[in-house]
């Protein structure tokens, strides 16, 4: 029986251990079988440990790949960070933990940069808005014509009593969005602090012009 077990190289460790357990029922005091049992128990424990490591690595790699692929699936960078943070929550010391932490920093830097660009542009739109309402109040057709995407629009703006009589003392640009995120040549600027709720701007030759309004 001992020789048979030694020769069972094609069997798995678990199968060998099962055969050995059966053999020990008939030969419980056999020292060779007892020694083999001890060795196989150690081998089984080591194989289980390696299997757990492989399984953990598989889950780690899968979670990282899923998080990384979300950059293609979602447009929101905040969502990218959320997905990477979920990876770190599951695998704080994972294979890709350091790489993920660095990627989060990169994304956050991109968000900060984009936010600053947005705020800078919002201030420019606010300045254009103030110039527009000042020209309306002053009934300055020449100034309005130069600000208008179509110069003839100045006449209709000056004829609007709602525009000319509105109080603009607290007017402020609060947000804007482009009608086309790629071309970025047409935008809607939301306003607060006055009856004028929105100004529309179009880009031409690198300069923004007023193309319409909502009051």
Per-residue CA distances from 86 to 83, 103, 192, 210 (Å): 5, 13, 38, 45
pLDDT higher than 70, residue 6: no
- Identify whether the C-beta of residue 191 lies closer than 8 Å to the C-beta of residue 172: yes
- H helices of 139-171, where? 141-147, 153-159, 161-165
Classify the phi-psi angles of 21: left when phi > 0, otherwise alpha if psi is within -120 to 50, otherwise beta.
alpha
Write out pLDDT tens, residues 47-105.
Answer: 888 888 899 999 999 999 999 999 999 999 999 999 999 999 999 999 999 999 999 99
Q: Which residue matches tokens 């208008």?
A: 148
Write out pLDDT tens, residues 153-179.
Answer: 999 999 999 999 999 999 999 999 999
Half-sphere exposure in the Cβ direction for 88 (13 Å, CA)? 14
Write out pLDDT tens, residues 117-145.
Answer: 999 999 999 999 999 999 999 999 999 99
Q: Which of residues 44 and 147 earns the better pLDDT score?
A: 147
């Amino acid at each position: 029986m001992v020789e048979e077990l030694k020769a069972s190289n094609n069997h798995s460790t678990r199968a060998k251990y099962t055969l050995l357990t059966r053999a020990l029922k008939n030969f419980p005091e056999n020292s060779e079988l007892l020694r083999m049992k001890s060795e196989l128990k150690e081998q089984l424990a080591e194989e289980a440990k390696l299997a757990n490591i492989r399984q953990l690595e598989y889950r780690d790699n899968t979670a990282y790949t899923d998080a990384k692929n979300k950059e293609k699936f979602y447009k929101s960078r905040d969502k990218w960070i959320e997905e990477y943070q979920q990876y770190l929550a599951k695998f704080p010391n994972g294979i890709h933990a350091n790489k993920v932490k660095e990627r989060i920093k990169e994304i956050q830097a991109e968000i900060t940069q984009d936010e600053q660009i947005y705020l800078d542009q919002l201030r420019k739109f606010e300045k254009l808005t103030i110039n527009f309402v000042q020209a309306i109040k002053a009934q300055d057709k020449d100034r309005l014509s130069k600000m208008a995407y179509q110069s003839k629009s100045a006449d209709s703006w000056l004829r609007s009593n709602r525009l000319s009589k509105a109080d603009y003392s607290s007017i402020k640009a609060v947000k804007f969005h482009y009608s086309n995120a790629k071309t970025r040549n047409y935008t809607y600027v939301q306003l607060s602090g006055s009856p004028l709720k929105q100004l529309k701007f179009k880009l031409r030759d690198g300069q923004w012009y007023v193309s319409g309004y909502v009051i």
